[in-house]
A and B are shown apart, each in its own frame.
Chain A
Amino acid sequence: MGTLLTRVAKWSSEDKLDSTALNSLLLKDIMLFVEDFSSLHPQEAEILFEEPLQWTSTLVASDFEADYDINESGEVESQEKDEKGCPTLTLSPPNISVRNFNQLSNLMNMENDKRQNEVQACIEENRTPLLKILGENYANMQKAVKIDKGEGHKQESDIKMKLLRLLLDMGKQTIRKLLKEISDKFRLNPTFVEQEVEYLQGLCGPGENSVLKSVQYTSDYEYPNGCRAPLWRQIEGEMCYLIIEPYDTETLYITCSSAGVFLNLGVKDDGDDGAYKQASEVFKNVVTLLKNKSQLFAENLTSQGPLRTPKLVDAQTQLSLKRINKSATPSQREEDKTSEFDDTQKGARSKNISHFSESSYAEQLSSMKLKSQLQPGEVFSETSSESDQSYEEEEQPARRQRNTDYPSEYWQIQKLVKYLRAGDQTATLLTLYALMDYDLTHETYHLAMQDSGGLKVLTNILHLDEVNLQLGSLQILRDISHNAQTRRGIVDNGGLRSIVNVLDSRNKDVKALAAETIANLTSFRRARRTVRKYNGISKLVKLLDCAPDLANVDAKQEKDVEVARFGVLALWSCSRSPKNKEAIHKAGGIPLLGRLLKSPQMNMLIPVVGILQNCADEESCKDAIQTEGMIKDLVQNLGIDNAELRIHCANVIFKCAENKRTRTLVNENKGLQALVSLLGKTDNKKLMAAATGAIWKCSLSPENLDVFQEHKVLETLIGLLTNQPEEVLVNVVGALAEFAQKPANKITIRKCGGLKPLVRLLVGRNEPLLVNVTRVVEACATDLDNMAIIQELDAIRWVWSLLKNPNPEVQSSAAWALCPCIENAKEAGEMVSTLMGAMELVIDLLKSTNDDVLASMCAVIAKIAKDKYNLAVLTDYEVVSLLAKLTDKPGDLLRCHLAQAIAQCCTWRNNRAAFGEAGVVPHLALYLKSSDMKVRHSTVMALHQLSKESNNCVIMHSEGVVKPLIHFMGSDDEKVRNAAADCVRNIRLLFPNQSRAKKTTPCM
């Protein structure tokens, strides 16, 4: 890959890639490679780069979607983190830094047109990508350096080797491809020969200047393709034969073939079969041959001035070709500096291509051939195990071997495609008819279609304004688009655009078939992007506008409904891409879907609700679903006994019910009862997950909780805590957390034996589930009887160990749960101190960058510090300075709990002075101006504690806290009132002492 970039790519002076055709091919290749990398090689994609790839990017925060954290100043960080918790991608415009292939793939999969620019910038600014990605050791494997392999690192280094091999392979393949691209252009053609012969004929004659006696063709008859050789020789690539008489040697009989020029055994116009034999080496053109054979010609030619070599290839390409050859066979370079160009051309021909493949690359590679050849099957199974994003991505079809014998059908189909190209309307129709007669699912058919360019021809037919032909072509396209490789073929050939265009057809059958084909094709991202790019989404949405009342469709509208159904299918498939969801909404799709929601047809309803489910990820769509009155229909559909439909409906409610009004609507339409009745379907896990999810979100409204209570939902949910998969459990526990907000329910949870299975779930690894479980624990621990059981089950230890979880959400959620646990546990102080390393964990997390985590840790510290002994331990861990460092952070939640923690820590006398020295007082003084009452109150408490140290009083006084404190003396809260008063008193008492003489010891 490195060689590819340094030698093949054409660089201009300022380290920029020139915009040549070759470079853009190269970029495109790299782009495709990177795009599919993470799905094809998930393991390798996670390897961290030795050094990050950094470049100046044109991307902005809005280009990033889920999985990225975006802050106010437009900086982006990936949620994917390395072991140390550093994000693998950071963008602070315009600088971007990427540290593994996963993120590179993500960038390439972004749905915008900046991709090529990004690749280009990345390559331009990282001239030694291999070195950066793999580090010196690996990148220099080419020199066969041995790497020390510690046992522990063995696996990682294996993966790195694989990665290296992949990169080198990719480089090699691309070079081959480019080489072929160029060498194809380099083949001789009749025009070239003709020009050359004309040129040579100009040098003939009796005159002084002439260098040749004569130059003649053996035959005057020229075939329409410009060749003069007999047909049976043309098959060999021979174009014509020349008889040239030089002055100084015997007559030369020359064969001009597409591979080059050589002497034959004397072909005249009636040459016998033996005469065609090759009798010399191959030259690149006639002039070179003559130079070689005739001394006189060679000498005189130079005096004739430079030869006008017919321009077959532009200069750019020639240069690039030269570079490729250099990189391929470096040893050849020295051979003949002066005739380098000749070498290049020779090199381009097939002869040297084999040479090339044996070159240095191959040797390097063979030394590190890995036993584990990647099996395509393995790759697939790995990708399929990915989480929900991956369900939409289809496997990159494996490269097929082209050496098998094809069945006769293959050639027949190729022949038919030829007819398609050459035929008029009637012939095209008959050929389509014939093409439909084959087994369209058979591999041979797809191979033949792809190899013969039939896909392109089929989609081109769509441009003709002939309904019959369009229908024929679409029928074939629809059926063959069930094959993954063919799908890619169609999309890559720009065929999808043509199909999108015929959605505007006046013929309903054409529309329906086109939509159905699009539904098949859009199984991968690029296809969905293409549909959107050519305005396909709004065209599809237009198809949905069929009948005003779906419940009563007359015969005339039936056809329209059928067309709409295929439109819905296509949109369902397209709506998996986030930007398409937006596009559907913008095109006015949601109200139309609302209308279709009243259809009695199951094959219409399921995809319609499916689209709604996908679109409900978008906030604006959620609102539209509610305001268009669809909740009612969705609830009604829950009552239809069709599992798939119910799943989609429940999922839509799940996603939309975060909105309060939606929750109320679900209740008003008796949706809660419908959801509850689904809880019995324990055998269908997907349905269970959807239903429990909907129940969870609906239970956010207290009045809905009451309805659920009537139906004993809590008891049912507790029953579901065992024997359910995680996707169900997450929702069940989420719902329990909402239920547990009511004191009565806490008792029910305990009485129904819910605590034990809940505590067991604390051992899991599913992060959303852990967050929900800790929320339930947090709620339950406020009940003393519950707390006793929780303590008995040793749950506090489990919750505490969740602080080690790398996910900040889990960390903070666990910490919040710890607060009531510590508060209500029996002998809490002793318990905490016996937990090994418990306090270190909390102290460590005070260094977190996540504000929620910090706030929750402060809260935990406030609880721990109530125990004198534990406070001493915390103090040893320098809790004071750590807390002091946090005082300048924003955020009311953090400030509130931070002030509480400070107040609690101040019960240890030395800490008061330490806080003062660490400079917390001025910050706390600012907190008093907070708009949040809780912050102000806990600040008063903290200041009160601090005021017991006279030095602090001086600072407080100078920070002007007395006036606001006097204000707090009128607070409704008695504690606050007293604290404020006492604080003011301390200041008043101590301030004169302090200022009079520093020696005076302040009294406590």
Chain B
Amino acid sequence: MSKRLIQNLAKIISKQVDRFNQTEVECLIREFYAILGQTTSTGKSSLDERKFRSILTNEFGLTNNTIMERVFRTFDKDNDNFVSSKEWVEGLCVFLRGTLDEKIKYCFHVYDLSGDEYIAREEILLMVRNCLRMHGEEDPYDSIKDLVEITLKRMDHDNDDKLSFEDYKKSVKELNIVLEAFGTCLPNATRIERFEQRVFNNKWDHR
């Protein structure tokens, strides 16, 4: 990918995102191609899920497989099983610099495994199934079910036994820390800083 092309691409994309300036977009695109170029030379211009997930783990510290698959689906807006350079930059907008509202939308989308605009009890259970490790032979599953039940009851404001977007949004607004209630799906401050520093200060290396 020539420098020229990247610059043009950056110009186009940066008109559609407001969190990054053009230089930053350029850096992100360069990073995108760097990741792409490391392993394949097949000329594909999109990230597949496997590679994307390795980025999530290595760069952003996400570990939960169910969640990571969902993060990939959320980035991949056109559902073609690949993250294009545009989707990459747009996704990172929220991922790195999103406002609370944007993050709420993003997280809800991640947690809504079936895509039916609701987070159902089964979905939560699936996401948090490994969250407790009890001592002895006590079965953690009952405890997890109990914990999920408590959480669901507290967040379900309209009492329909599942979480709508409004339920979720209201809960997060009440108490911000439950934004990532069902599993980490955003990088923490340290990771963000490290990533931005590396990518945005790195432009000279590629010339």
Contacts and interface: CB of A to CB of B under 8 A. Distances in A.
B206 interface: no
Contacts of A225: 136-137
B189 A430 contact: no
Interface in B128-142: 128, 130-137, 140
Given A223-B137, A467-B189, A430 B175 contact: no
B9 interface: no
A419 B132 contact: yes
B143 A419 contact: yes
Given A224-B137, A422-B135, A506-B189, A468 B147 contact: no
A427 B147 contact: yes
Interface stretch (B24-32, B85-93, B179-187): B179-187
A877 interface: no
Contacts of A465: 188, 190
Interface string B25-55: 0000000000000000000000000000000
A472 B179 CA distance: 12
A434 B154 contact: yes
B23 interface: no
Given A419-B147, A429-B181, 8 more contacts: A423-B147, A427-B131, A427-B132, A430-B148, A433-B177, A434-B147, A468-B177, A468-B179
Contact of B175 (A422, A423, A433, A467): A433
Contact of B177 (A419, A434, A472, A506): A472
A418 B132 CA distance: 10
Interface in B110-156: 127-128, 130-137, 140, 143-144, 146-148, 150-151, 154
Interface string A419-438: 10011111101111110110
A466 interface: yes
Nearest to B148: A430
A471 interface: yes
A429 B180 contact: yes
Contact of A422 (B134, B137, B150, B180): B134
Given A423-B131, A468-B177, A507-B189, A430 B136 contact: no
A423 B136 CA distance: 14
Contacts of B134: 422
B177 A423 contact: no
A433 B154 contact: yes
B139 to A, nearest CB: 12
A471 B132 contact: no
B130 A433 contact: no
Nearest to A223: B137
Interface of B: 127-128, 130-137, 140, 143-144, 146-148, 150-151, 154, 175-184, 188-190
Contacts of B190: 465, 506
B189 A425 contact: no
Contact of B183 (A426, A467, A468): A426
A424 B131 contact: yes
Q: Most A CB atoms within 10 A — which of B127, B132, B134, B177?
A: B177
B135 A430 contact: no
Contacts of B154: 433-434, 437
A721 B93 CA distance: 73
A433 B135 CA distance: 23
B67 to A, nearest CB: 9
Given A224-B136, A424-B130, A430 B151 contact: yes
A465 B188 CA distance: 10
Contacts of A507: 189
Q: Which 7 A-B pairs have the closest CB atoms?
A: A427-B131, A468-B177, A434-B150, A426-B131, A430-B151, A424-B131, A422-B132
B137 A430 contact: no
Interface in A432-476: 432-434, 436-437, 465-469, 471-472
Contacts of A430: 128, 131, 147-148, 150-151, 181
Contacts of B144: 427
A429 B185 CA distance: 14
B84 to A, nearest CB: 31
Contacts of A418: 143
A227 to B, nearest CB: 10
Nearest to B146: A415
A433 B155 CA distance: 10
Interface string A474-503: 000000000000000000000000000000
A430 B129 CA distance: 13
A434 B150 CA distance: 7
A426 B151 contact: no
Contacts of B189: 467, 506-507
Contact of B151 (A433, A469, A506): A433
A469 B175 CA distance: 12
B177 A426 contact: no
A14 to B, nearest CB: 47
Nearest to B128: A426
A432 B177 CA distance: 10
A426 B182 contact: yes
Contacts of A437: 150, 154
B35 to A, nearest CB: 26
Contacts of A429: 177-178, 180-181
Nearest to B178: A433
Interface string A210-230: 000000000000011100000
B188 A426 contact: no
Contacts of A431: 147
Nearest to B179: A468
6 contacts: A422-B132, A422-B134, A425-B184, A430-B131, A430-B148, A433-B178
A507 B190 CA distance: 11
Contacts of A432: 177
Given A427-B128, A427-B132, A471 B177 contact: yes
A436 B175 contact: yes
Contacts of A422: 132-135, 140, 143
Nearest to A470: B177
A424 to B, nearest CB: 5
Nearest to B150: A434
B86 to A, nearest CB: 31
A468 B180 contact: yes
Contacts of A468: 177, 179-180
Contacts of B135: 422
A468 B183 CA distance: 12
A466 B146 CA distance: 24
A466 B181 contact: no
B163 to A, nearest CB: 13
Contacts of A436: 175
A806 to B, nearest CB: 61
A411 B183 CA distance: 27
Contacts of B136: 224-225
A434 B151 contact: yes
A448 to B, nearest CB: 15
A437 B152 CA distance: 13
Contacts of B176: 471
B188 A467 contact: yes
Contacts of A425: 184
A431 B189 CA distance: 23
Contacts of B143: 418-419, 422
A152 B77 CA distance: 94
A224 B137 CA distance: 7
A433 B124 CA distance: 15
Contacts of A467: 188-189
A425 B146 CA distance: 17
Nearest to B137: A224
Contacts of B184: 425-426
Contacts of B127: 426
Q: Which of A426, A431, A434, A468 counts the most chain B CB atoms within 10 A?
A: A426
A472 B188 CA distance: 16
Nearest to A509: B176
Nearest to A424: B131
A436 B180 CA distance: 17
B188 A423 contact: no
Nearest to A421: B135
